[in-house]
């Protein structure tokens, strides 16, 4: 993913062991042409020294408000920024930001910034889950700050759990989405968005399955965009090999029934459910517990119909909840809009995204085009574009419905 080069980014680095990963994030920004000012805390310099930040950014580095006082850095840095991202953001920096403390250059910068502010927390699980930290995160989000959910994985020492800094590439993609304007106004703050992505597999035997060509790119773009708009995002991922998007809660599934169970469970308190996954419509009636031998006679495979997950979601949809379904069409003789309208009504969706799939179309490509049909009779044509941009336009329609 690329973003607008030449933008002024402030990279705040607070004092956690994950500070070394921020060097890679800085490299991504600078190599993409962004003008980056690194503002570390004094504790951060215990992990990664000032020469590293200066060399990678091409700018001198300071933690003090007293350096170059005539330039008023504690005010000017935040005032002139297009984006401020703090990675890693420790429990300490989250607390200071939530309470408006300003005892060093970074916290002063956070108080003066009038641009989007992104926090990428990294800390031990117990610290992240502590009521004080969660209250501080809620406060920051209520003010429009974008706090990425930490990843689950190996922490300091032998510990593992939620609290790991997301991959720098994923933080960078998140920030590019912000810089591109998708969350200049975080219109999904306080909302829970559930997105399904990928294609399900229905097994014939332990090694063979029926499936489809969906790679999950469009669903992942929707999840990333929703998170960048401030939403709490649950991504139900079916057989996708893409990196986990920063700031989302992952649920991994394989079969259509697993996708159904996970999506229904996650959607209970959701404000928005986006069914971007491609569930298999049919599954084998019988499963062979041992591999079917290649020397045996070719088996006759009887199929049974899988449940229609989107229709089930539509049938149990709460008042005010927005359901977005997807409809893939291939045959040229099929009236895609008429077919999509039929599915929209049958699934009781609020929006249905109708797109043509096939060789070099939609599945497995970086671009997509669609027609979005609304339950109110609206028809919105989305020209062929990057899937990230199409996701942005779809969520613009969702945001309008929520309002």
**Could you say which of 136, 212, 239, 368 is catalytic?**
212
Give 103's DSSP letter: S
**76 vs 249: CA distance, rounded Å:** 36
Residue 200 neighbours by CB under 8 Å, 6+ apart = 211, 212, 238, 239, 253, 254, 255, 256, 258, 259, 277, 278, 279, 280
Phi, psi for residue 293 in degrees, rounded to 5: -70, 140
Break the chain down into helix, strand, coil percent, rounded to 5: 35, 25, 40
Q: Report whether the peptide linkage leading into residue 88 is cis, meaning its omega lies within 30 degrees of zero.
A: yes
Distance set, CA 1 to CA 70, 86, 123, 225 (Å): 38, 20, 27, 12
Parallel, antiparallel, or unpaired for β 232-238 and 248-253? parallel
Catalytic site includes residue 136: no
Residue 297 neighbours by CB under 8 Å, 6+ apart = none
Closest listed residue to residue 11, CA positions, set 68, 58, 65 = 58
Catalytic residues: 212
């Amino acid at each position: 993913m690329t973003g607008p080069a030449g933008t002024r980014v402030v990279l705040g680095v607070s004092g956690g062991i994950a500070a070394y990963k921020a060097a890679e994030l800085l490299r991504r920004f600078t190599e993409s042409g962004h003008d980056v000012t690194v503002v570390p805390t004094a504790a951060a310099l215990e992990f990664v020294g000032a020469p590293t930040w200066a060399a990678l950014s091409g700018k001198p580095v300071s933690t003090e408000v007293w350096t170059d006082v005539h330039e008023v850095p504690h005010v000017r840095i935040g005032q002139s920024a297009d984006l401020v991202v703090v990675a890693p953001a420790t429990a300490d920096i989250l607390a200071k930001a939530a309470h408006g403390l300003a005892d060093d250059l970074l916290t002063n910068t956070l108080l003066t910034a009038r641009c989007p502010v992104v926090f990428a927390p990294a800390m031990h699980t117990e610290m992240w889950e502590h009521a004080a930290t969660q209250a501080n995160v809620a406060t920051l989000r209520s003010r429009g700050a974008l706090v990425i959910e930490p990843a689950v994985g190996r922490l300091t020492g032998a510990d593992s759990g939620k609290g790991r800094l997301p991959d720098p590439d994923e933080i960078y993609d998140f920030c590019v989405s912000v810089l591109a304007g998708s969350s200049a106004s975080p219109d999904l703050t306080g909302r829970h968005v559930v997105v399904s992505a990928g294609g399900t597999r229905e097994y014939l035997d332990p090694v063979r399955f029926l499936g489809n060509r969906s790679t999950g790119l469009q669903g992942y773009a929707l999840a990333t965009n929703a998170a960048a708009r401030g939403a709490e995002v649950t991504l139900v991922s079916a057989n996708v090999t893409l990196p986990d998007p920063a700031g989302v809660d992952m649920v991994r599934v394989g079969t259509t029934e697993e996708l159904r169970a996970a999506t229904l469970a996650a959607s209970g308190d959701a404000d928005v459910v986006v069914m971007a996954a491609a569930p298999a419509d049919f599954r084998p009636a019988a499963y062979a517990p041992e591999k079917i031998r290649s020397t045996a006679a070719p088996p006759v495979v009887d199929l049974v119909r899988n449940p229609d997950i989107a229709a089930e979601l539509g049938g149990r949809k709460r008042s005010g909840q927005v359901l977005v379904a997807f409809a893939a069409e291939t045959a040229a003789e099929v009236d895609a809009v008429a077919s999509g309208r039929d599915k929209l009504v049958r699934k009781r969706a609020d929006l249905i995204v109708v797109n043509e799939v096939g060789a070099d179309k939609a599945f497995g490509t970086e671009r997509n085009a669609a027609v979005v049909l609304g339950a109110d009779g609206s028809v919105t044509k989305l020209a062929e574009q990057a899937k990230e941009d199409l996701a942005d336009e779809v969520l613009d329609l969702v945001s309008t419905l929520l309002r």
